[in-house]
Amino acid sequence: MCEPARARRSAGRSGGRSARVAARSAPLDEALRPIRAGMPGGQYKPLTDAGVARIHQAALQALEEVGLSNAPASGVEILTGAGAILGEDGRIRFPRALVEDMLAVACRDLTLHGREEKHDLHLSGTNVHFGTAGAAVHIVDLERNEYRDSTAQDLYNAARITHNLDNVHFFQRAMVCRDVVDNFDMDVNTLYACLSGTTKHVGTSFSDPSHVAGCFDLLHMVAGGEAAWRARPFVSNSNCFVVPPMKFAEESCRVMEDCVRRGMPVLLLSAGQAGATAPAPIALAIVQAVAECLAGVVYVNAIQPGAPAIFGTWPFVSDLRTGAMSGGSAEQALLTAGCAQMHRFYGLPGGAAAGISDSKLPDMQAGWEQAITNTLAGLSGLNMVYEAVGMHASLLGFCLESLVLGDDILGQVLRCVRGIDVTEDSVAIDAIKEACLGGPGHYLGADQTLRLMQTEYVYPALGNRMSPKEWVEAGKPLLLDRAIARKNDILARAGSQISPDLDAAIRSRFNIHFR
């Protein structure tokens, strides 16, 4: 390259870079951000229309001919009262007409509220939202390079971090408070750790039907009374109401009945494992999950027509060589995307799992597993993508640094979900003319480039885009070290989302284990 040309390019690069840095540092209005919660997906469809119809018909057949066993007495009364049939074998079977009638009155266009309106999640169409979930029993401690028992403090910290991440839109209980021995205290601490850490929508579960009332006392205290709670219920119940294959979970069903009557949205969660508790064929695993969740739709709407419920088909995958769960596999990504198509077929708000890693640490394996499964979930238009960040060891371990790194992954995923904007302005060749016909021969520093820097492009908070030379000059920073630093920085700044007076009142009534 001749010296004059090199000088011109160097000057253009320097001026363009300064302008880009200045533009990027300026705050951007929420409506102008390139990515946000609730962007529509649906571009990816692993099932054909004929395949969707066949799965639907097979699910109806399974409900009519196989049905579900082990309904609690209250469930038998509710379901048979609506038109289900109790067989001599004790199984509840569902006539097709009953399923279709309940689908006609089921809740659609559901809004899951946050404690702040800006965190409301609108579950309609193919709107996509990413968040946490799970019941990990270990915390992956990168600073000590070990797995240890998860605690209520860890859960509170995870909620505080989530509150400060743009691309993690809700916080569902991600780990078990193993330092809390009493089961009621565990349910209370699980709920309160989540609520103390974030005002985003929270998901939780209850280990025993008798615990629901006491936990709702806490909820009413936080909401400012029962009426305020019912007006904007900001917590949903993650409810494993079935034990696959095709069997009700009696205690969870009783919890579900109570939560529905108390105005709490319910995630109807079917979590079979293909090759173990669900059939090995991917399509048939979806059939079973759909059948089980349709039974849940009948159940919930027989209690209260139009009750807020999420169609939670969560079939997982087995590594058929060992029988172990494989949450980060391509088959898992396909299962989740196929379930999203079935949610759209029914027009119901839906949720499923993605973003799980089988890797024990946030390494390259974790990166590809989390990216592939989350991308397919987002592109398929899944309303609620659970377990999208932080999960390792096939749901046994949760990592706070991975939660932070996952925010970067989800930023890139959401950019893929948004797709390519083809408008009159975006394909007009004026910019090409300006650059090539008497212009500088490049687009660095151009008005259009600067205008689109923040509205068209997404930049990672931790991902490293330095040149090798810049990386060396910066001291060869490592990604995990930066993740640890950002985690600690967030925790140093993030306070409780509960007022001191209310916190004192709650602690005087309940046995709270975290600081």
What pLDDT, on a 0 to 100 scale, did the predictor assign at position 454? 87
What pLDDT, on a 0 to 100 scale, did the predictor assign at position 25? 56
Residue 254: which CATH number?
Answer: 3.20.20.480
Is residue 384 domain-resident? yes
Q: Which structural domain, as residue segments, surrounds residue 305?
A: 103-419+498-509
Spatial contact of 377 and 340, defined as CB atoms under 8 Å apart: yes
Q: Amino acid identity, residue 206?
A: F
196 has a pLDDT exceeding 70? yes
2 has a pLDDT exceeding 50? no
Handedness of CA 63, 66, 70, 72 (dihedral sign): positive
**Lowest mean pLDDT: which of 62-71, 249-258, 418-427?**
418-427
Is residue 289 domain-resident? yes
Strand partners, 149: 138
Q: Amino acid identity, residue 151?
A: T
Three-class DSSP category at 133: coil
Mean pLDDT of 397-414: 98
Peptide bond into 209 cis (omega under 30): no
18 has a pLDDT exceeding 70? no
Is residue 325 domain-resident? yes
21 has a pLDDT exceeding 70? no
Please tell me the distance from the alpha carbon of residue 318 to that of residue 322, in angstroms, as a whole number. Answer: 8
End-to-end CA distance of the chain: 62
Three-class DSSP category at 477: coil
Q: Where does 441-512 show beta strands of DSSP type E?
A: none
Residue 24's pLDDT band, with cuts at 50, 70 and 90, is low
Is residue 145 domain-resident? yes
Spatial contact of 132 and 169, defined as CB atoms under 8 Å apart: no
13 backbone φψ class: left, alpha, beta (φ>0; ψ -120 to 50): alpha
Spatial contact of 187 and 206, defined as CB atoms under 8 Å apart: yes
Three-class DSSP category at 145: coil
Tokens of 405: 């790194």
What pLDDT, on a 0 to 100 scale, did the predictor assign at position 14? 46
Label the pairing between strands 85-86 and 92-93: antiparallel
7 has a pLDDT exceeding 70? no
Is residue 92 domain-resident? no
Percent of the chain whose predicted confidence (pLDDT) is above 90: 90
Q: Tell me: the pLDDT tens digits for 100-138?
A: 999 999 999 999 999 999 999 999 999 999 999 999 999
Q: Tell me: the pLDDT tens digits for 259-297?
A: 999 999 999 999 999 999 999 999 999 999 999 999 999
Residue 29's pLDDT band, with cuts at 50, 70 and 90, is confident
Domains in the chain: how many in total? 1
Instruction: Kindly list the distances between the CA atom of residue 480 and the CA atoms of 174, 362, 366, in Å, as whole numbers in the listed order.
Output: 21, 8, 13
Is residue 442 domain-resident? no
The model's pTM is: 0.94
Residue 425's pLDDT band, with cuts at 50, 70 and 90, is confident
437 has a pLDDT exceeding 50? yes
Task: Please provide the average confidence, as pLDDT, over all residues in the chain.
Answer: 94
